[in-house]
A = this chain, B = another copy of it.
Amino acid sequence: MTETLKQGSATAASRIYETLRQDLLNGRYRAGERLSITLLRETYEVGLSPLREALNRLAAYGLLRQENQRGFRVLELTREELADITEMRRQLEGMALELAIRHGDEEWESQLLAANHRLARAGEHTPVVEWEGLHSRFHSALVEPCGSAWLLRFISQLHDQFDRYRRVAPRAQELRHQLDSQHQELVDLALARNARQARALIEEHITLSSEVAKCSCR
């Protein structure tokens, strides 16, 4: 009776999908590496069918490349693709932020302040994985009320792509601090409903993050 506390009850395929996604974002597997299905089976102690279903989803999502009869590979990390992802993030998140500032209500303002506070409180001794979660949620909260489900979907997808680069890059303290202070400025501009400047700042923020991430390319 206490078994299905988890809402909905996730399938094995969904669980392994989420685990694999996180592991891919965290750079557990080398760029370009071929993922051996047999090996993955043993590593995650999961059956063949749910594993293959998860891999198929990840490939459709763009975190893996599927070659017929030759299994699945981790995507490469290239300067060209990082530039593409960065520019797309600039455009789409800039657009979304402007819309969010136009449509966001008081509830949004509260959520945004809360997300920023939690992120700012997380200091040196916070586990990286936890910080990453707070960071993701902050950026989600920022654009959340833009009014377009597809825009949010694309932004999340690009965030995942971007994180593959960012998370394996060495942590540059100097830039790290600058990026952190930009989070605060973004909140201020958002609450002031200054769409123009907010858009300019988030574009700068993304470009700066991209500089940090660049060294992870081959």
Closest to A85 in B: B150
| Interfacial chain B residues near A44, Cβ < 8 Å | none
* Copies of this chain present: 2
A70→B64 CA distance, assembly (Å) = 26
Task: Give the one of A11, A53, A58 with max B CB within 10 A.
Answer: A53
The residue from B9, B60, B88, B91 contacting A69, defined by CB atoms under 8 A apart: B9
* Contact (Cβ within 8 A) A88 B57: no
A60→B62 CA distance, assembly (Å) = 10
Closest to A147 in B: B84
A53→B13 CA distance, assembly (Å) = 11
Min CB gap A95→B, angstroms? 7
The residue from B14, B57, B68 contacting A10, defined by CB atoms under 8 A apart: B68
* Contact (Cβ within 8 A) A88 B13: no
| Interfacial chain B residues near A150, Cβ < 8 Å | 84-85, 88, 158, 161
| Interfacial chain B residues near A88, Cβ < 8 Å | 148, 150-151
Min CB gap A5→B, angstroms? 15
| Residue-wise interface mask of A (148-160) relative to B, using a CB-CB cutoff of 8 A (1 in contact, 0 not) | 1111011000100
- Tally of contact residues, A, Cβ under 8 A: 34
Min CB gap A69→B, angstroms? 6
Closest to A62 in B: B153
| Interfacial chain B residues near A193, Cβ < 8 Å | none
| Residue-wise interface mask of A (165-203) relative to B, using a CB-CB cutoff of 8 A (1 in contact, 0 not) | 000000000000000000000000000000000000000
- Residue A49 at the chain B interface, CB threshold 8 Å: yes
26 CB-based A-B contacts, threshold 8 Å: A8-B68, A8-B69, A9-B68, A10-B68, A11-B68, A13-B56, A14-B68, A49-B52, A53-B53, A54-B56, A56-B57, A56-B60, A57-B57, A57-B60, A58-B60, A60-B60, A60-B61, A62-B153, A84-B149, A84-B150, A85-B150, A87-B148, A88-B150, A88-B151, A150-B158, A154-B154
